[in-house]
Structure 1
Amino acid sequence: MSANDLPENSTPTLKELDIPGRTGPVSEIQRAAGGTSYSNPLEFRVATAPELKAPAIKQALNGATLDPFAAQDELTAVIDYVGMDLDDEITVTWTGAPGTPGGGSNPIINGNTSSELDLSTLVPGAKTRIDRSSDKSKAVTFPVRTYTIKAVEDVKPQITSVKGSPSGDEIPEGGTTVETAVTLTGTAAKGQKVEVFDGATSRGDATADVTTGNWALSDSGLSLTTHLYKAKALYGSGFESSARTFSVVEKLNVIQTRFPRYIRVSPDGTRVYVLGFASEITNRVITIDLIDLATHRVIKSANIDTRLPNDFNISPDGNRLYVCFSREIQEYSSSDLSHLRTFTNTNFRSTLQISPDNSKLYAPGELLGAKGGKTEISDIATGRFIRSVNIGFIPVASSLSADGRYLYIALGIYSSQLAIFEINTDRTTYLDLRTLAINIVASPDGKFVYALSENQILQISTPAHIITLRRNIEPGLSNLAITPDGKHLCGVGVAGEAAIFDADTLAIRKIAAGSGSKAVAFSKNGQRVYICNYADHTVWDSPW
């Protein structure tokens, strides 16, 4: 057929097709010479255009707001339409808020994604080429759905409280408990999870309240050891909280003894020595009881005198015990409680300290009445008196600085002064406490001295010797002890209770004690306190 066979100015005819369905267009040519020629039929199917739904984000459960922490590990676009075939190619584009940096709009083709998003709004857009054409311009576009990205603060979690269970008693930082179950509470990003660790061991997850950000976790089966808890954020940057430590210790041990008045702990922490006596003169017997802390039993006892002692101490090397009487000091073996020597002089001794190098005895006392206070210094090796130093008023208690430089002497009967005797120079200065101190203790680190009066406790900085803190207390405390790390003090004297002080702030909390508590000491590790209960004839070995 040639072009001459076609009529001039002939135009094709457009015919509306039935949709959906099958159609079969056929072309025909009417020839000028007559007759008609027909083409072979071309048959194809016309389908209904798919109904495309707006893409959704799997991690945005309400269909409108996306919590960024819910999508921090994975962000999934959900594409669904009727007629989806296995080989359909779908392109998803994440579009951020206006002004989002160039990296904020990231194409994802069949599951392969690019960098993270940092946006305030997020629009998952999508196109698909359902005809399998390689021409991207023919892709069909889905409707758009815009999500608001929820603002969530990347909060560092905190452990704000640890309480024993079931008592509900607060366990202070670095404190002890006899309970083997605890409840931890803290704060974190609202609605987010934290993982709680004891050391390197996970103890479980907790979810912060969506309104307050508070979380709680209970832990049980704790062993008798020191525990260190941290909370780690399972969101954002994965911050960790500060550590919270405490120790689970054995329960109270009650040790029977006789009229306990003074107590000293051996340097190795395995034994305590208790000096006891009745107040009544008739049939008074002074006893020393040696207690084994492993068994909590008195393993040796000795009746040493019938006179009234004024103080009791143990040598720094742990080999000797010294009992201070009015006119003499008696020395005993710490191993078998046998009497070794007697130091004598004319002073009325009130209190006794031993130099850190185990070479000298310092015995403050008085000779001539209210203003006749002196400190006697004796050489331990020879047993000889060296000299005495005037200190003024009558001493009632003393404490030696850890380095042996200063002897602090409370003059609380007639004077509010604290005598500060500098041993190397024999120089004595005074600090007016404005209260009558009845007990005093120096911190092991040499930073502070603590003075106790009837209704106050004072913190005194050294070596400046300035009162840095003063706190009013309930009357009744008469004896102080300090932990080996210098962080806490314990005061006794009030029936049925003892007072634990924070050494930095002098904040106070109460613990139980027996009846008529007279003396107190801490264990070598500082985790237990030993309280002499005079009226009960007991020593309490107690957690605090």
Structure 2
Amino acid sequence: MAPDNRTVYVADQNSKDVHFIGLDDRQIAVVKVPNTPRFLAVSPDGARIYVSMFENDFTGNGLAVIDTAKRTVVKNIRTGPRPFEPAVASDGQVWLPIHNGARVEIYDDQTLTEAARISVPPNPHWVTFSPDGSIAYTANHESSQISVINTKDRLVLRNIKVGKSPHSIAVTPDGRTLIVTNYDLDTVEVFDTGSLRRLYRLAVGKEPQAVITSTDGKHAYVVNEGSDNLSVVDLKAGKVVSTVAVGDSPRVIAVSPDGLRLYVTDGNGRTVTVLRTTAK
């Protein structure tokens, strides 16, 4: 989602296209990338998107850097094998989990070259940051752990055991609560970030892929690929308060900057489901 609330960006895993969906006129523009796009992240100023890429045979591993104004690829960076969901840190650098490399690669946003590597347990899918940018968290799928990383010195502070196959991870805007999806258990786990103690575990839909929090931090939205729906979790009450049908095989989710809309990509449906939130 663009920070100006006007454009949704979608990585199309059925092609080599990244779609720019204009929310004002609902027109769609396409930017071609060298290999199959998998996931993407938007820079804080909205000037760039960073797109992870790889083919089904694990070739074509890379990170495409797209200028959003010109709608052109600035650079195609070769990366480690099977790069997953990128994230942009508060200093602008791009953190990229390398699934088959048991590491996170960090890319400088000025030189567009690799600046550092951090080893984590196998196999990282997702990266997210604390609101102040001091801590990074990774969801490490095959090892059923999350890593807690000091972003300043890039040291892993702790690895925490979670449920089977954590796929994605989110932090509330106040930085106090961490939510993890357990893909093979059909659950989410909620942790206190201060103590890193698990607060509770909840059943959601089948094969929860992605999670994001509401802009006010009251709810978590969980995309369930196996049941084609979205679970709304009341984080204070610790329960699922709503289940909403979406398209076929939902994969990832974005929330608009004003908190009023959710955008869910439907992998097999080749659509984006738009939902209205209860935010005021």
Shorter-chain TM-score above 0.5 = yes
Is 1:464 the counterpart of 2:153? The answer is yes
- Picking from 341, 356, 373, the partner of 2:44 is 356
Structure having the higher strand fraction is: 2
State TM-score, norm by structure 1.
0.40
Change (3 A) 1:525 1:346: same
Change (3 A) 1:372 1:333: closer
- Picking from 441, 447, 462, the partner of 2:134 is 447
Structure 1: tracts of 5 or more residues without a match: 1-313
Q: Which residue of 2 aligns with 1:410?
A: 97
Q: Give per-residue Cα distances to partners, 1:184-236, cap 9 Å, x unaligned.
A: xxxxxxxxxxxxxxxxxxxxxxxxxxxxxxxxxxxxxxxxxxxxxxxxxxxxx
Counterparts of 1:399 and 1:328, CA distance in 2: 20
Q: Which residue of 2 aligns with 1:505?
A: 195
Change (3 A) 1:472 1:369: same
Cα contact 2:61–2:78 (8 A) shared by 1: yes
Q: Which residue of 2 aligns with 1:320?
A: 7
Identify the structure with bigger relative contact order (alpha carbons < 8 Å, sequence gap 6+). 2
Counterparts of 1:541 and 1:456, CA distance in 2: 24
Question: Counterparts in 2 of 1:371-520, with a 5 A limit?
Answer: 372-403=60-91, 405-412=92-99, 414-428=100-114, 429-454=116-141, 455-492=144-181, 493-508=183-198, 509-520=200-211
Aligned-residue sequence identity (percent) comes to 20
Letter in 2 for 1:427: T
Cα contact 1:439–1:451 (8 A) shared by 2: yes
Name the SS of the counterpart of 1:350 in structure 2. strand
RMSD: 2.2
Is 1:531 the counterpart of 2:222? The answer is yes
Is 1:543 the counterpart of 2:234? The answer is yes
Question: Counterparts in 2 of 1:199-348, with a 5 A limit?
Answer: 314-326=1-13, 327-335=16-24, 338-348=26-36
Change (3 A) 1:522 1:382: same
Counterparts of 2:70 and 2:121, CA distance in 1: 40
Question: 1:461 deviation in Å?
Answer: 0.6
Counterparts of 1:370 and 1:496, CA distance in 2: 27
Counterparts of 1:476 and 1:316, CA distance in 2: 31
Counterparts of 2:113 and 2:34, CA distance in 1: 22
Letter in 1 for 2:9: Y
Q: Give per-residue Cα distances to partners, 1:306-327, cap 9 Å, x unaligned.
A: xxxxxxxx11221111110241
Name the SS of the counterpart of 1:397 in structure 2. coil
Q: Give per-residue Cα distances to partners, 1:333-387, cap 9 Å, x unaligned.
A: 2356x23311013222221111111111111223796475321111111111111
Cα contact 2:186–2:204 (8 A) shared by 1: yes
Question: 1:462 deviation in Å?
Answer: 0.9
Counterparts of 1:507 and 1:343, CA distance in 2: 43
Change (3 A) 1:538 1:360: same
Counterparts of 1:349 and 1:496, CA distance in 2: 26
Cα contact 2:101–2:123 (8 A) shared by 1: yes
Structure 2: tracts of 5 or more residues without a match: 236-280
Q: Which residue of 2 aligns with 1:174?
A: none
Counterparts of 1:393 and 1:517, CA distance in 2: 24
Name the SS of the counterpart of 2:137 in structure 1. strand
Cα contact 1:367–1:374 (8 A) shared by 2: no
Tell which deviates more after alignment, 504-513 or 321-330.
Answer: 504-513
Cα contact 2:163–2:185 (8 A) shared by 1: no
Counterparts of 1:356 and 1:477, CA distance in 2: 26
Counterparts of 1:408 and 1:433, CA distance in 2: 13
Cα contact 1:528–1:542 (8 A) shared by 2: yes
Question: 1:444 deviation in Å?
Answer: 2.4
Letter in 2 for 1:448: I
Counterparts of 1:477 and 1:500, CA distance in 2: 12
Q: Mark the structure with the bigger radius of gyration.
A: 1
Q: Give per-residue Cα distances to partners, 1:54-107, cap 9 Å, x unaligned.
A: xxxxxxxxxxxxxxxxxxxxxxxxxxxxxxxxxxxxxxxxxxxxxxxxxxxxxx
Letter in 2 for 1:362: Y
Cα contact 1:321–1:332 (8 A) shared by 2: yes
Cα contact 1:396–1:409 (8 A) shared by 2: yes
Cα contact 1:393–1:411 (8 A) shared by 2: yes
Name the SS of the counterpart of 2:101 in structure 1. coil
Cα contact 2:96–2:104 (8 A) shared by 1: yes
Name the SS of the counterpart of 1:444 in structure 2. coil
Letter in 1 for 2:189: A
Cα contact 1:445–1:485 (8 A) shared by 2: no
Question: 1:506 deviation in Å?
Answer: 2.5
Question: 1:441 deviation in Å?
Answer: 1.4
Counterparts of 1:465 and 1:453, CA distance in 2: 17
Question: Counterparts in 2 of 1:57-76, with a 5 A limit?
Answer: none
Counterparts of 1:530 and 1:391, CA distance in 2: 30
Name the SS of the counterpart of 1:539 in structure 2. strand
Change (3 A) 1:365 1:496: closer
Counterparts of 1:534 and 1:351, CA distance in 2: 16
Question: 1:495 deviation in Å?
Answer: 4.3
Change (3 A) 1:368 1:325: closer
Aligned residues: 228
